[in-house]
Amino acid sequence: MSPQPATTGRPAVAPEEGVAAIETYAAPRSLAEAVALLRTGEATILAGGTDLMPQSKTGRARFQRMLMNVRHVPELRGIRGTQDCVRFGALTTITELLDSALVKNRFNALWQAADHFASEQLRNAATIGGNICNASPAGDTLVPLLVFDARVELTSEVNGAAARRTLPLAEFFVGPGRTQRRATELLTAVEVPLPPDGFFSEFYKFGTRPALDISAIAIGFGAVRDGQRLRQVRVAFGAVAPTPIRAAKTEAALASQPLPAAIEPALAAAAADIHPISDIRASAWYRRELVRNVLRRMLNNVTQN
Amino acid sequence: MSPKIDVAFKLNGVDVRTTVSPGMSALEMLRDELHLTGTKYGCGEGECGACTINVDGLSANACLMFAADCHGREIVTIEGLVSDPRTEALKKSFVAYGAVQCGFCTPGFVMQARNLLEKVRSPTPEQIRRGIEGNLCRCTGYKKIVEAISEAAAASS
Amino acid sequence: MDAMEKPKYDGSLIGKRIPKMDAPEKASGKTRYIHDIDLPGQLHAKILRSSEVHARIVAIDTGAARALPGVHAVITAADVPWQRPIGVAKDHLPLKGDRVRSPRDEIAAVAAESEDIAAAAVKLIKVEYEPLPIVATAEDSLKPGAALLHGEDLIVTGPDGKREVVHKASHDNVAMTFNYGQGDIPNGEAESVVVVEDVFRLHYVTHCCMGVSGVIAEFDASENLLLYSNTQVPFLHKREFAELLGMDPGRIRIIQPPIGGGFGSKLDIYPFEPIAIYLAKITHRPVKLIFSREEEFMASPTRQPVLLKMRSGCRSDGRLTFRDVETVHDNGAYTSWGATTPFVMMQTISSLYRVPNCNYRTRAIYTNNPYAGSFRGYGNLQATFAVEAHMDKLAEAIGMDPLEFRLINAQDPGEVTPQGMHFKSCGFKDCLQTAASRSDYQAKFSAARGKWNDGNPVKRGVGMASMLHVGGGAKIYPSDGCGTIIKMDDFAHITLITGASEIGQGSETVLAQLACEELGLPLSAVTVVNNDTDVKPWDVGVHASRTTFIAGNSALGAARKAKAKILAAAASKFGRPAERLDLREGCVIDKATGEKLIEIGKLIRSLHFSDKAELVMTTFYYEPPSHKQDKEFRGDVSAAYAWATQVVEIEVDTETGIVKLLKVIGAHDVGRVLNRLGIEGQIEGGVVMGQGYALTEDLIVENGVIRNPNFRDYKLVTAPEIPEIDVSFIETMDGEGPQGAKGVGEAPAICVAAAVANAIYNATGVRITALPFTPENVYRALHSNSQPPTWIAAA
């Protein structure tokens, strides 16, 4: 489940735009069939359903004429590693991420995000593709995927054949709940390059409980350690901007000098990278304080270990 | 107006067929169409676990699942576990350890606990607490639920 | 008979760990809650609520809704001109015709073939509003010129066309006031070496029963009303519904299916109930109305938010001199039980500790906010929060250990307080000492204070708080009693018909234990009937931690009468005096020899199979020896009082504001433990509910609108967050209690927030006087980025 704004934050749609708008239901059995059905761009895509269902029940989901259940499309399943890249089918569930030795060994921050994700019932249903397409600023898997330079693969039918394009995840998000996906496209996979040897990563989600909580802030961090120098530093933040973001200034500050001298400049840079708002979960001021204090704590831990 | 969708699936070991509407949740289908009321509505948003069922061997919130998506699946509810030894052990220990007060959340806890014990035979109290983090209880304060699951694990392993 | 399974006897049932009798059904998913009941021909109802916070209703158009296929009825206030007001002040019409005062307000309702059709029809109703100024806080509400929430007479038109003013226009927004005083404040202040003053702000929380609210209403052919209801007070509601509907209360039957949580939320009638009844009346069909979770957040009651100013003092020897308290309660738009929580708050303020001079003034103020009801603890969480903060502050100010300071001021058995409460049994000092020693409170308290400036961002602390609450009923009505009927069959199986209502707390099991203990029967020989007003005898209701005490004494009384009847029959049959006989292990025995004379069932069969047949069927009514308060709020309202002390250990992360509750060490004076399993469950559940009040739960209300009507953002405590809980029972064997027991239902939730506040101070040196202690609130307080609450300026 990718967390959404409080139900009161998302406007209700007109009754005729809700579930009543659905005229047909389709459950394609292949990718070709799925993208063919998407040709007119008039389908609402159902994957895990963990966001779509509550939104529809509270009258806050806008439905297209077709409800297309993609859960039986085999091409959307599976985690496959190649020499330099791992391909996560869009229907990969959070549980599958958690159970994957590859994820645990090579993508620790992603594994940690999966571990902090909602609850087991939701982890079993929610998919990585759904989490990405929901484009919540606080989406749990998005921050670590940004740390790992993930790319999304979008498939559509062009001239009767499946056509693919990929783009960096960092460019995919446009705003809260909005992405670059076209109505005729299906998000088919997430490709994540294998991080370089020695790359370590951490995910921190702020909250009072391990899971079933929506981030007031989330921080993803990864780097290759070279003594007290960090190389290939990647930092991403969640819930501090309209979309999850990579923190370019923070990364530059951390790469420019060794620890611990880099810490305070990095904190100042982070303050410039983020643009938090106040909502019912946290004030902008508090989000800034958290980013500073938590990032400092993470970097101090790195320095000391 | 809204299309009718025929679904066929295995429910508690028996093949069933029914007709659902596109917006209907599995929870509504189970309760209103198939009259299995052991699965409860608590929030409709996957936040309370009162509607926990088992879908193809994994626990799920019935309230988040589209009824249409049940087609071809194997679904088990609390009613389908009357002769399942692990569930029987859980029910017994929930009773004996005082893990039931108003009881509204209890079937969901039993379902989720069974799911946990299928995966981890002898969970630590910490693993149990994490295992039921998606289930809310307003009466018991969870302590006796954790003890009951611990006991059931010991009894059935 | 011989082939039958023999019951097991295991000595006395009192104090044992007895599983809840209805738990096997519940654990199997077989229990039918109100949501699970469907009647043939039943229609489903949905309510249209206001889209505005405060507005005049200019027009309502139900045409499209009425035209929708499957819709049986659409009603607005115009369709029920005879509707009468509900609530404690009768200021609230179920359907609003001319004005809405809150987004929960009911404007129209639909009965239809299905929930989906009813919901679709509700969306087709068009309402035109003319907005009115929003009164968002009690402070704004008291300002001169503030919009008046009830500034016009509330008039209803009876079925005979007669117009009647049912609630008079109010010239201000004050819904209710309570003033209490004892001694003389200036004298007390003059005797003080130290005086402290603070303003405390207590926030909105709500019950979050796991089962949402619902009702099924049906009229029979003779216009008798049958209600399936989750009310906690069925007999009071029979009468109230009768007044609302202008019918004879005797023609109303309330069946209470098992309830998915109560906690005080079902003590009042809410608009959805009369609305379902109107629809049933109009459609001549059973009508079922069930809330969604969002509706439950919006339209079920809250705990009362309070702004509280307290001034207290003590002498150099630690004795309290005075306490002066003023409160403003945000009443919301209508008046429910929340407005009356000062009844309970003043007990804590005047009598938890001995304080000779005490003054307490309260006002409940109308606003456009959600309205407050009763909620486990009934004001006591709020009062205890303030009183216990000042106990720590005063102790610190005179340089005394907080435990010692409390022991100096704690009540003793036998005390009659100036407010008139008589503490016949009182284990308060035992509670204090037990909780302190089991938690190593004093050593930890000193150690934590020494680490305020040690540079470690993660601090630990301990905090202590105690509570006083009614434990032997609460006589707020002329009667606080409960009736029981016991009927014994030919096989020595009893049906125990109690007036008491079961809301998950385990009353059926405790009542069965008490009866079985008296009759020498196993628990398997009892069926408890507690859910039908046509069957069960009168009871005030399940509230005020009264059921074990009041219904327990009632069950005991009925069992004693049954026993006397059985023993008399045995006496004549065996020619031995009844005083020599007793009932044990299903038999009549001779006390002196232990000889089993006859199985009870056999004896009863011999009574029945005779030409002078005699039934063993007894009734008993128990009315506690307590008194209604007089107009000055003086009186011994409860037959017994419960005490408790809780010490909490916490960890505060000063860099995030996260407060972790690590451990709760409680000592509770419960009179006597009847069912150890049940009482532990009450305490653990109450502690975690108190934890939610202190740390996680916050119903965010902005300009009259609830911003987080869901479990995603209204955070109940989840399993990974619970503390270690250590409970000691102080058994004072109350002379009036059943087997010595006192009430305990509300007690465990009361102290937690107060103790956590003291622990945060102990850990950090920062005193926070506003709840909740959510991470941002704590962080702001620790980093001086928040204003402590201030007293209202205008008044």
Answer whether C427 touches B (CB < 8 Å): no
C466 and C384, same structural domain?
A: yes
3-state SS assignment for residue A186: strand
C618 and C585, same structural domain?
A: yes
User: Nearest Cα to C653, choosing from A11, A232, A293?
Assistant: A293
- Which pLDDT does position A207 carry in this prediction? 80
C732 and C603, same structural domain?
A: no
Q: How far apart are CA A29 and CA C222, in angstroms?
A: 59
C124 in any annotated domain: yes
- Which pLDDT does position C2 carry in this prediction? 47
Residue by residue, DSSP assigns A95-127 as HHHHH-HHHHHH-HHHHHHHHTSS-HHHHHH-B
Q: Which helix (H) or strand (E) holds C761?
A: helix C752-764
CA B74-B80-B84 angle, to 5 degrees, is 105
Return the sign of the alpha-carbon dihedral for residues C73, C75, C78, C84: positive
Alpha carbon of B148: minimum distance to chain C alpha carbons (Å): 12
Q: Number of A to C CB contacts under 8 A, please give it.
A: 64
Whether residue A8 and residue C709 make contact (CB cut-off 8 A), yes or no, is yes
Whether residue B101 and residue C31 make contact (CB cut-off 8 A), yes or no, is no
Q: Which helix (H) or strand (E) holds A87?
A: strand A85-89
The number of C-alpha atoms within 13 Å of B99 and in the hemisphere containing its C-beta is 31
C50 and C27, same structural domain?
A: no
At residue C352 the predicted structure's pLDDT band, cuts being 50, 70 and 90, is very high
For the cut 60, the answer to whether the pLDDT of residue C343 exceeds it is yes
Neighbour count for residue C702 (Cβ, 10 Å): 11
Q: How would you write C85-131 as a 3-class SS string?
A: CECCCCCECCCCCCEECCCCCEEEEEEECCHHHHHHHHHCCEEEEEE
Q: Which of C658, C710, C721 sits opposite A7 (nearest CB)?
A: C710
C599 and C504, same structural domain?
A: yes
C240 and C130, same structural domain?
A: yes
C708 in any annotated domain: yes
- Domain spanning B5-80: CATH 3.40.50.970: no
Q: What is the mean pLDDT of residues C707-721?
A: 96
- Which pLDDT does position A4 carry in this prediction? 34
Q: How far apart are CA A301 and CA C26, in angstroms?
A: 48
Backbone angles phi, psi at A230, to 5 degrees: -110, 130
A residues 202..261 contacting C (CB < 8 A) = 206, 208-214, 216
pLDDT for B48-103, tens place per residue?
999 999 999 999 999 999 999 999 999 999 999 999 999 999 999 999 999 999 99
Whether residue B100 and residue C27 make contact (CB cut-off 8 A), yes or no, is yes
DSSP 8-state symbol, C7: P
C659 and C590, same structural domain?
A: no
Q: Are C217 and C284 in contact (CB under 8 A)?
A: no
At residue A50 the predicted structure's pLDDT band, cuts being 50, 70 and 90, is very high
β strands within C591-699, DSSP E:
596-599, 617-622, 641-653, 659-669
C720 chain-A contacts, CB cut-off 8 A: 209-211
C706 and C660, same structural domain?
A: yes
- Which pLDDT does position A305 carry in this prediction? 83
C196 in any annotated domain: no
Whether residue C658 and residue A208 make contact (CB cut-off 8 A), yes or no, is yes
Q: Are A250 and A235 in contact (CB under 8 A)?
A: yes
Q: Do domains B5-80 and B83-156 have the same CATH topology?
A: no
Q: How far apart are CA C258 and CA C255, in angstroms?
A: 10
How much of chain C, in percent, has pLDDT values that exceed 70?
A: 99
- Which pLDDT does position C231 carry in this prediction? 96
C404 and C347, same structural domain?
A: yes
C129 and C241, same structural domain?
A: yes
- Which pLDDT does position A9 carry in this prediction? 46
Place of tokens 């020599």: C580
For the cut 80, the answer to whether the pLDDT of residue C5 exceeds it is no
Alpha carbon of A293: minimum distance to chain C alpha carbons (Å): 6
- Domains of chain C: total: 3
Q: Which of A23, A50, A57 sits opposite B3 (nearest CB)?
A: A23
Whether residue B141 and residue C684 make contact (CB cut-off 8 A), yes or no, is yes
C512 in any annotated domain: yes
Could you tell me the maximum CA-CA distance found in chain B, to the nearest angstrom?
53
C residues 381..400 contacting B (CB < 8 A) = none
Q: Are B57 and B111 in contact (CB under 8 A)?
A: no
A122 chain-B contacts, CB cut-off 8 A: 46, 61, 64, 134
3-state SS assignment for residue C282: helix
Domain-ending residue, one of C591, C622, C653: C622
Q: How far apart are CA C162 and CA C158, in angstroms?
A: 5
Whether residue A69 and residue B130 make contact (CB cut-off 8 A), yes or no, is no
Answer whether C658 touches A (CB < 8 Å): yes
- The CATH number for C496's domain is 3.30.365.10
Q: How far apart are CA C527 and CA C533, in angstroms?
A: 17
Neighbour count for residue C497 (Cβ, 10 Å): 22
A residues 4..33 contacting C (CB < 8 A) = 6-8, 15, 20
Name the residue of chain C whose CA is nearest to A10's CA. Answer: C707
Place of tokens 């009346």: C281
Q: Which helix (H) or strand (E) holds B10?
A: strand B5-11
Q: Which of B21, B39, B142 sits opposite C722 (nearest CB)?
A: B142
Position with higher pLDDT, C158 vs C352: C352
Q: Which of B45, B100, B133 sits opposite C712 (nearest CB)?
A: B45
State the pairing for strand pair C724-730/C659-669.
parallel
pLDDT for C558-568, tens place per residue?
999 999 999 99
Name the residue of chain A whose CA is nearest to B61's CA. Answer: A121
- Which pLDDT does position C794 carry in this prediction? 58
C718 chain-A contacts, CB cut-off 8 A: 209, 212
Q: How far apart are CA A83 and CA A78, in angstroms?
A: 17
Domain-ending residue, one of C584, C604, C622: C622
Q: What is the mean pLDDT of residues C514-527?
A: 97
Name the residue of chain C whose CA is nearest to A1's CA. Answer: C712
What is the Rg, in whole angstroms, of the alpha carbon atoms belonging to chain B? 16
Q: How far apart are CA C795 and CA C793, in angstroms?
A: 6
Residue C48's Cα: distance from chain center in Å?
Answer: 29
C341 in any annotated domain: yes
Name the residue of chain C whose CA is nearest to A287's CA. Answer: C776
ipTM of the complex: 0.98
C145 in any annotated domain: no
- Interface-testing mutation among B24, B33, B102, with chain C (most C C-beta atoms within 10 A): B102
For the cut 50, the answer to whether the pLDDT of residue C207 exceeds it is yes
C709 chain-A contacts, CB cut-off 8 A: 7-8
A212 chain-C contacts, CB cut-off 8 A: 718
Backbone angles phi, psi at C114, to 5 degrees: -140, 165
Q: Which of C211, C689, C720 sits opposite B130 (nearest CB)?
A: C720
C168 in any annotated domain: no
- Which pLDDT does position C95 carry in this prediction? 98
Q: How far apart are CA A240 and CA A146, in angstroms?
A: 14
Q: Which tokens sit at C574? A: 């065996």
Beta-sheet strand order (sheet of C641-653): C458-470, C641-653, C659-669, C724-730
pLDDT for A73-83, tens place per residue?
999 999 999 99
B residues 45..104 contacting C (CB < 8 A) = 45, 47-48, 50, 77-79, 82, 90-91, 94-98, 100-104
pLDDT for C659-705, tens place per residue?
999 999 999 999 999 999 999 999 999 999 999 999 999 999 999 99
Neighbour count for residue A303 (Cβ, 10 Å): 15
Q: How far apart are CA C463 and CA C766, in angstroms?
A: 13
Mean pLDDT of chain C: 96
User: Nearest Cα to B119, choosing from A89, A98, A110, C28?
Assistant: A98
User: Nearest Cα to B144, choosing from C185, A234, C19?
Assistant: C19
Alpha carbon of A69: minimum distance to chain B alpha carbons (Å): 7
Q: How far apart are CA C405 and CA C392, in angstroms?
A: 8
Name the residue of chain C whose CA is nearest to A13's CA. Answer: C123
A residues 45..104 contacting C (CB < 8 A) = 57-59
Beta partners for residue A24, in sequence order: A66
Q: What is the distance between the terminal CA atoms of chain B, rounded to a whole angstrom?
A: 52
B49 chain-A contacts, CB cut-off 8 A: 119, 121
User: Nearest Cα to B5, choosing from A77, C85, A23, A89?
Assistant: A23
Cis amide prior to A260 (ω within 30 degrees): yes
At residue C242 the predicted structure's pLDDT band, cuts being 50, 70 and 90, is very high
Q: How far apart are CA C326 and CA C311, in angstroms?
A: 9
How much of chain C, in percent, has pLDDT values that exceed 90?
A: 95
Q: Which helix (H) or strand (E) holds C777?
A: helix C775-782
At residue C1 the predicted structure's pLDDT band, cuts being 50, 70 and 90, is very low
Name the residue of chain A whose CA is nearest to C700's CA. Answer: A280
Whether residue A286 and residue C720 make contact (CB cut-off 8 A), yes or no, is no
Query: Which chains reach chain C with 3 or more Cβ–Cβ distances below 8 angstroms?
Result: A, B
At residue C9 the predicted structure's pLDDT band, cuts being 50, 70 and 90, is confident
For the cut 90, the answer to whether the pLDDT of residue C10 exceeds it is no
Alpha carbon of B135: minimum distance to chain C alpha carbons (Å): 7
At residue B1 the predicted structure's pLDDT band, cuts being 50, 70 and 90, is low
How much of chain A, in percent, has pLDDT values that exceed 70?
A: 97
Q: How far apart are CA C714 and CA C53, in angstroms?
A: 21
Q: Are C397 and C196 in contact (CB under 8 A)?
A: yes
Q: Which helix (H) or strand (E) holds C44?
A: strand C43-49
Q: How far apart are CA C756 and CA C661, in angstroms?
A: 8
For the cut 90, the answer to whether the pLDDT of residue A13 exceeds it is no
Name the residue of chain C whose CA is nearest to A281's CA. Answer: C713
Q: What distances in angstroms separate CA C31 from CA A279, C252, C535, C704, one per listed residue?
A: 41, 25, 20, 37
For the cut 80, the answer to whether the pLDDT of residue A6 exceeds it is no
C315 and C461, same structural domain?
A: yes
Residue ranges and CATH numbers for the domains of chain A are: 7-69 (3.30.43.10), 74-193 (3.30.465.10), 199-304 (3.30.390.50)
C506 chain-B contacts, CB cut-off 8 A: 101
Q: Which helix (H) or strand (E) holds C234?
A: helix C234-245
Q: What distances in angstroms separate CA B124 from CA A288, B128, B135, C664, one per listed residue?
A: 37, 6, 18, 21
Least confident interval from C1-15, C200-214, C746-760: C1-15
Domain-ending residue, one of C566, C599, C622: C622
C502 in any annotated domain: yes
A3 chain-C contacts, CB cut-off 8 A: 712
Whether residue A281 and residue C713 make contact (CB cut-off 8 A), yes or no, is yes
User: Nearest Cα to C110, choosing from C100, C95, C99, C97?
Assistant: C95
Q: How far apart are CA A148 and CA C667, in angstroms?
A: 52
- Which pLDDT does position A2 carry in this prediction? 32
User: Nearest Cα to C38, choosing from B103, B26, B35?
Assistant: B35
Cis amide prior to C418 (ω within 30 degrees): no
A residues 147..176 contacting B (CB < 8 A) = none
Q: How far apart are CA C156 and CA C274, in angstroms?
A: 15
Mean pLDDT of chain B: 97
By residue range, what is the domain housing residue C774? 306-474+629-782
Q: How far apart are CA C624 and CA C550, in angstroms?
A: 7
At residue A140 the predicted structure's pLDDT band, cuts being 50, 70 and 90, is confident
Residue by residue, DSSP assigns C138-196 as HHHHHSTTPPPTT-S-EEEE-TTS-EEEEE---SSSEEEEEEEEES-HHHHHHT-SEEE
Answer whether C785 touches A (CB < 8 Å): yes
Whether residue A125 and residue B64 make contact (CB cut-off 8 A), yes or no, is yes
C412 and C485, same structural domain?
A: no
CATH architecture of B83-156: Orthogonal Bundle (1.10)
Domain boundaries, given as residue ranges, for chain B: 5-80, 83-156
